[in-house]
Amino acid sequence: MAVSWKYANPVEVTFGASAVSAIRDKVAGRSYCLLTYNDHPYFDEMVAAISSEAGVPAVVVRDVEPNPSFDGLRIACRSYGTAASPPEVIVAFGGGSVIDTAKVLAAAGGDFARVQAFLEGRADAETLSATPIIAVPTTFGTGSEVTSWATVWDTEIKKKYSLNHESLYPQHAIIDPMTSLGVPRALTLATGLDTLSHALESIWNVNANPVSTNHAVFAAREILDALPKLVEQLDDVDLRTRVARASLFAGLAFSNTKTSLAHSLSYYLTLHHGTVHGIACSFTLSAVMRSVIGQNEACDAALARIFGGDLSKGVEQLEAFLTGLGISTRATDYGVTHENWIAAIDDALDGERGRNFISTRAAVLAAVA
Ligand SMILES: NC(=O)c1ccc[n+]([C@@H]2O[C@H](COP(=O)([O-])OP(=O)(O)OC[C@H]3O[C@@H](n4cnc5c(N)ncnc54)[C@H](O)[C@@H]3O)[C@@H](O)[C@H]2O)c1
Ligand SMILES: [Fe+2]
């Protein structure tokens, strides 16, 4: 870890308040776009509750896909553009897909072509607009409420992009653990594992600093303890609160470091095999951890705070944690051939997130392949 470092995150976080009244306070009479899903009755109820408390939205956009794609985002931008005048703020009520879609709407201002041109390197950041965002997560895992980027996919050419700009940090993050009470087991598991991945990925990361690492250690310890209990007791408010807090801390950690190899590897599986994000970015964690042991003193010290001094045992503990939750740690169980997986590892190490990784190709191949 570098001797000199800096840490910054500009998002104002409100934790534990009722989401609806906190949205009212933060909207504070501004005209707003309300963005949420259209695939669950809970979100119909919440659109009604937010509209009655915070005022009728300038526009309600409900075209949100699980992994936002160019085609879907074009449609969402068109819906956004139907507001009589441009909204002053966007309220994103939902998980990572909703918050990431909000970032695209904030940058596109109703015209997706602007964002597409920026992503494809044909336009610079000055061409983007910057509508403020109030992010209200309803799944606790992605941390998107405290990061300045959004993952978007061009499914036609099977390419993943990261829309990234300082102006995309939400203005406010409102974290009410009660919003996640109805999240089913599989999604609770996937999002909780996404948090664990963010925490560990910010530790084995060339951009790690003492603040990000401290947040990450807390988040990882909490997930290792609370997630297995939560998936057995989905209505436990205390466990929901602990996982929500862990997700926030992991988000604050990787907001400064970005992710690393496990996420870089995940994009291949999501694009080619449809593996959900939280599983795709976490099933390799024990193997990736094996490849970092002994590579970097600060990383070893941080992992020891999570797993204890014997890091080889820690790898076994992490592997047992994953398999105990029903997550196979073998890539071939996700439909990829061994040969394609080796090629995917090389691509992942060369990818933008892979270049944040602290270990070597040889160590990775020995551990992950
Ligand atoms: N920008 C970032 O920093 C960042 C980080 C990690 C992941 N991501 C992105 O986040 C996305 C994944 O987000 P996610 O895992 O939060 O899921 P999601 O937003 O894709 O939602 C998945 C499903 O969960 C349901 N759901 C959400 N909240 C619910 C609730 N309270 N009750 C019942 N159902 C609910 C939705 O209806 C939806 O069908 C991916 O696109 C990923 O790339 C972004
Ligand atoms: Fe993630």
pLDDT tens, 11-64? Answer: 999 999 899 999 999 999 999 999 999 999 999 999 999 999 999 999 999 999
- Categorize the per-residue pLDDT at 351 as very low, low, confident or very high, splitting at 50, 70 and 90: confident
> In this structure, which residue's CA is closest to atom 7 in ligand 1?
142
> In this structure, which residue's CA is closest to atom 20 in ligand 1?
66
> How is residue 93 written in tokens?
């009520």
From the CA of 151, which ligand is nearest? Answer: 1
The CA 260 to ligand 2 mean position distance, Å, reads 10
Tell whether the model's pLDDT for residue 114 goes beyond 80.
Answer: yes
Q: In the block, which residue shows the tokens 């990000």?
A: 212
Helices (H), the chain: 19-27, 41-54, 70-80, 96-108, 112-119, 185-203, 210-230, 237-257, 261-273, 277-280, 285-292, 297-307, 311-324, 338-350, 361-368
> How is residue 218 written in tokens?
């807390």
Averaged pLDDT, 215-241? 98
Averaged pLDDT, 163-171? 97
259 lines ligand 1 (CB under 6 A): no
Averaged pLDDT, 158-177? 96
From the CA of 270, which ligand is nearest? Answer: 1
Residue type, 77: C
- Categorize the per-residue pLDDT at 368 as very low, low, confident or very high, splitting at 50, 70 and 90: confident
The CA 26 to ligand 1 mean position distance, Å, reads 23
**Do 136 and 93 contact (CB within 8 A), yes or no?**
yes
255 lines ligand 1 (CB under 6 A): no
Distance from C-alpha of 218 to C-alpha of 243, rounded to nearest angstrom: 11
For the CA of 67, the nearest atom of ligand 1: 41
353 lines ligand 1 (CB under 6 A): no
Per cent of the chain over pLDDT 70 is: 99
**Using CA atoms in the order 203, 256, 131, 125, what is the torsion angle rounded to 10 degrees?**
-110
Averaged pLDDT, 61-80? 96
Distance from C-alpha of 63 to C-alpha of 176, rounded to nearest angstrom: 23
DSSP secondary structure letter of residue 4: S
Averaged pLDDT, 171-190? 98
What CATH topology corresponds to 184-368? Dehydroquinate synthase-like, alpha domain (1.20.1090)
- Reported as type and span, the H/E element at residue 67 is none
The CA 313 to ligand 1 mean position distance, Å, reads 32
- Categorize the per-residue pLDDT at 369 as very low, low, confident or very high, splitting at 50, 70 and 90: low
201 lines ligand 1 (CB under 6 A): no
Instruction: Please tell me whether the overall predicted TM-score, pTM, comes out greater than 0.85 for this model.
Output: yes
From the CA of 101, which ligand is nearest? Answer: 1
Distance from C-alpha of 204 to C-alpha of 181, rounded to nearest angstrom: 32
Burial group, residue 169, by CB count within 10 angstroms (0-12, 13-18, 19+): buried
* Domain map (residue ranges) of the chain: 12-178, 184-368
**pLDDT score at 282:** 98
Residue whose CB lies within 8 A of the most ligand 1 atoms, among 105, 136, 144, 155, for a mutation test: 144
141 lines ligand 1 (CB under 6 A): yes
CA-to-CA dists, residue 266 to 274, 342, 361, angstroms: 10, 13, 17
**pLDDT score at 108:** 97
**pLDDT score at 225:** 98
> How is residue 128 written in tokens?
């983007």
- Categorize the per-residue pLDDT at 367 as very low, low, confident or very high, splitting at 50, 70 and 90: confident
> How is residue 30 written in tokens?
């501004």
**pLDDT score at 353:** 87
The CA 358 to ligand 1 mean position distance, Å, reads 28
Radius of gyration over every alpha carbon of the chain, rounded to an integer in angstroms: 20
> How is residue 308 written in tokens?
């204890």
∠ CA 227-231-235, nearest 5°, is 105
Please give, one letter per residue, the 3-state secondary structure of 164-210. Answer: ECHHHCCCEEEECHHHHCCCCHHHHHHHHHHHHHHHHHHHCECCCCH
Distance from C-alpha of 318 to C-alpha of 302, rounded to nearest angstrom: 15
Matching fold, domains 12-178 and 184-368:
no
Residue whose CB lies within 8 A of the most ligand 1 atoms, among 44, 50, 93, 97, for a mutation test: 97
∠ CA 223-305-230, nearest 5°, is 15
Tell whether the model's pLDDT for residue 205 goes beyond 80.
Answer: yes
* 3-class secondary structure, 60: strand
> How is residue 344 written in tokens?
């995917």
Nearest to 32 by CA among 71, 88, 84, 80: 88
The CA 190 to ligand 1 mean position distance, Å, reads 9
Give domain 12-178's CATH number out of 3.10.450.50, 1.10.287.3610, 2.60.40.10, 3.40.50.1970.
3.40.50.1970
Any idea which of 8-12, 112-116, 185-189, 357-361 has the lowest mean pLDDT?
Answer: 357-361
Mean pLDDT of the chain: 96
- Categorize the per-residue pLDDT at 2 as very low, low, confident or very high, splitting at 50, 70 and 90: low
Helices (H), 81-184: 96-108, 112-119
Averaged pLDDT, 324-352? 94
Averaged pLDDT, 307-331? 98
**pLDDT score at 1:** 57
**pLDDT score at 158:** 87
| Letter string b/e over residues 330-368, b meaning 16 or more CB atoms within 10 A of that residue's CB | ebeebebeeeebeebbeebbebebbebbbbeeebbeebb
* 3-class secondary structure, 15: strand
Per cent of the chain over pLDDT 90 is: 92
**Do 14 and 173 contact (CB within 8 A), yes or no?**
yes
> How is residue 2 written in tokens?
């570098």
For the CA of 187, the nearest atom of ligand 1: 24
Residue whose CB lies within 8 A of the most ligand 1 atoms, among 37, 99, 139, for a mutation test: 139
182 lines ligand 1 (CB under 6 A): yes
